Chain A
Amino acid sequence: MGVARRLGSRRATRVGLVFLALFLALGVWPTSWLPHDPTEVNLGLANRPGLWAGNWSQPLGTDFLGRDLLSRSVYAARLTLVIGLGAVTIATLVGTVVGLLAGYFAGWVDEVLSWLIDVQLAFPMIALAVAVIAVLGGSLTSLIGVLAATSWFTTARVVRAQVLAVKASLFIEAAGALGAGSVRTVFRHILPNVVSPILAVATFEMARLVLTESALSFLGLGVSSPQTTWGAMIGDGRAYVYESWWVATVPGLLIAALVIAFNFVGDGLRDAMDPTSYASSGRTGGGGLRSEQATEP
């Protein structure tokens, strides 16, 4: 397949991939190399500016408890990624199964599953997520679960549409004529043909979920201290933003960079799979996989 090569042929995609690799490395690497303990409180050093004020000891400054922002940002990268990846994995698995079932069996299975998707689309997701977390109590598991719940139907819709298209092809008919059962047809013949769009959707959803998680954490419904994510760090910095703008700005820019990197890679994936799109000119098409879903705060 030329997908990998076409993927690497775009500069924006390469930039996105490099950034993602960097963020992943930061998240996976042990934090022992960090200059300071990310959770160490030192009130004497509270709200100190970083390099721009000649502070080489804490290059990105400190927050209201005197914690080193560089160390904290790296420390928070791990949980930010774990929550996003965890939620997107669950959402993709559920969405794929639902989409396959709805697309392949059609009839009442499709009606029921489409109804479920319509119901879910009716809810203002942030509001519902906020309410569910408030009822269940905030924890890593409930956060990942709620985020997955706001995302699975995007995959389900795309997979369903793809399955409907693939199902009409001759080779599926041939598989049926050769005696392949439903399960075999779905998993051996249909699934491999819808993997690429699933990957692209997952990439865009990852970007969206990072933003949603940051909004929930900002509202104080995310993970609880000492655990932290970039969104929670913005929440920490909000009250001190007038005296020390960097406390909220550092994690804010990190989130933006991560989300944009995922979007670059998603655009690249979509174009690499779709020979009709203008891969070389980097057309930012909204018409493809992305059209139905916008980014929540």
Chain B
Amino acid sequence: MSQWVAWRLVRMFLVWIGVTLVAFLLLRLTGDPARVVLGEFASPAAMAAYRAEQGLDRPWPAQYVSFVSKALRGDLGTSLRFREPNLKVIVERLPATLELALASLLISALVGVPLGVVTALRRDSAFDVVARGLVLLALGIPNFFLAILFVLLFGVELGWLPTGGRGGLGHLVMPAVVLSFLLLPLTVRITRSSVLDNLSMDYVRTARGKGVGSRAIVWRHVLRNASLPVVTVLGVQSALLLSGAVVTETIFSWPGIGRLLVTSITGRDFPLVQSAILVVSTGVVLIGFFVDLCYAALDPRLGRSRG
């Protein structure tokens, strides 16, 4: 087991190295980071000064090594717009993004899992058909379009909820519900098919044969076994919430990392963009590692076989 954990750690580090490579290359896609950062109309003198200051005149491998070693020490450079360390600017917005992501994860789980279970147990009933139709609709409607409709209906027409910004629970409702629509269809589908798969397993027949009531079979056996894939998928897909937050945060003026990314791009603050992407991806890599650990702890067979 400890060997397996060590191997996962090595893999995690290797993936993180890849992440830093992509973040490093992002500014160099066009070949000249000074032009990307300073814009088309920067004077040659300003560009030369920026290159010297950032060490851009050194060979790429040397630049990359210093980029990574600085990142490991928490030095992600300075934001052009805020004139503050990038890491500080990002960390200040982290709570807002996490709050939104957790709230929508909670909604996805609290609505999606029961919906998946009930549609599986009452397969092909009217409820199943209607629920699956709605899930499909939720899958098809562009998230930002949904957000616009919500703002129009609940914010403007009915005036129930604030249309943007972060504050109390009222501010959280609309963005969290909109963001949860990303994971909700997946949650329902995975739960439903997982419960269906388990219902057709031999152990269910055995339990029935032993005279266990159907309620007890569902609660004690099926749901417990069906939960594993659901937990994994939700864990892995949390990256999706961070990604979806880019659009949702922009529409609802939610002061998180997603909106920071968009405003930084519009403001051509590329060092901040690079750092934000690096921080979020590092978070995703860490989450993936912990999901793996939880999985191994829940299902001891996996710890050995997955190498």
Contact = CB atoms under 8 A, between A and B. Distances in A.
Given A134-B273, A281-B123, A295-B185, A252 B142 contact: yes
A123 B246 CA distance: 13
16 contacts: A119-B18, A119-B22, A122-B18, A124-B240, A128-B22, A211-B143, A231-B142, A255-B142, A256-B142, A284-B193, A286-B190, A286-B191, A287-B190, A287-B194, A295-B139, A297-B244
Interface string B12-28: 00111011011000110
Contact of B144 (A115, A215, A258): A215
A101 B111 CA distance: 41
A119 B19 contact: yes
B158 interface: no
A248 B250 contact: no
Interface in B115-151: 123-124, 132, 135-137, 139-145, 148-149, 151
| Interface footprint category on B | 35 or more
B261 A131 contact: yes
B162 to A, nearest CB: 16
A122 B239 contact: yes
A136 interface: yes
B284 interface: yes
Interface in A141-172: none
B229 A287 contact: yes
- B14, B26, B229, B243 — most chain A CB neighbours (10 Å): B243
7 closest pairs, A vs B, by CB?
A119-B18, A297-B143, A286-B189, A124-B243, A252-B145, A286-B190, A256-B140
Nearest to B197: A287
Interface of B: 11, 14-16, 18-19, 21-22, 26-27, 29-30, 36, 123-124, 132, 135-137, 139-145, 148-149, 151-152, 156, 182-183, 185-186, 189-194, 196-197, 229, 233, 236-237, 239-240, 242-248, 250, 258, 261-262, 265, 270, 273-274, 276-277, 280-281, 284-285, 288
Contacts of B141: 252, 255-256
B129 to A, nearest CB: 9
A20 to B, nearest CB: 13
A255 B261 CA distance: 26
A116 interface: yes
A241 B147 CA distance: 12
Interface of A: 115-116, 118-119, 121-128, 130-132, 134-136, 207, 211, 214-215, 218-219, 231, 234, 238, 241-242, 245, 248-249, 252, 255-260, 263, 281, 283-287, 290-292, 294-297
B139 A259 contact: yes
Nearest to A259: B140
A253 to B, nearest CB: 8
Given A242-B156, A295-B182, A286 B193 contact: yes
A260 B139 CA distance: 7
Contacts of B250: 219
A130 B246 contact: yes
Contacts of B22: 119, 123, 128
Given A135-B26, A260-B137, A284-B193, A234 B145 contact: yes
A290 B189 contact: yes
Given A295-B185, A297-B244, A127 B280 contact: yes
Contacts of B16: 122
Contacts of A128: 22, 26, 277
Contact of A122 (B30, B145, B237, B281): B281
Given A234-B142, A255-B145, A297 B248 contact: yes
Given A122-B288, A256-B137, A286-B190, A130 B262 contact: yes
Contacts of B21: 119
A130 B239 contact: no
A132 B137 contact: no
Contact of A118 (B18, B136, B139): B18
Given A215-B144, A256-B142, A127 B243 contact: yes
A218 B144 CA distance: 8
Given A135-B270, A260-B139, A281-B124, A294 B237 contact: yes
Given A238-B148, A285-B189, 11 more contacts: A122-B18, A124-B239, A128-B26, A214-B142, A231-B142, A255-B145, A258-B140, A283-B193, A286-B191, A287-B229, A294-B186
Contacts of A211: 142-143
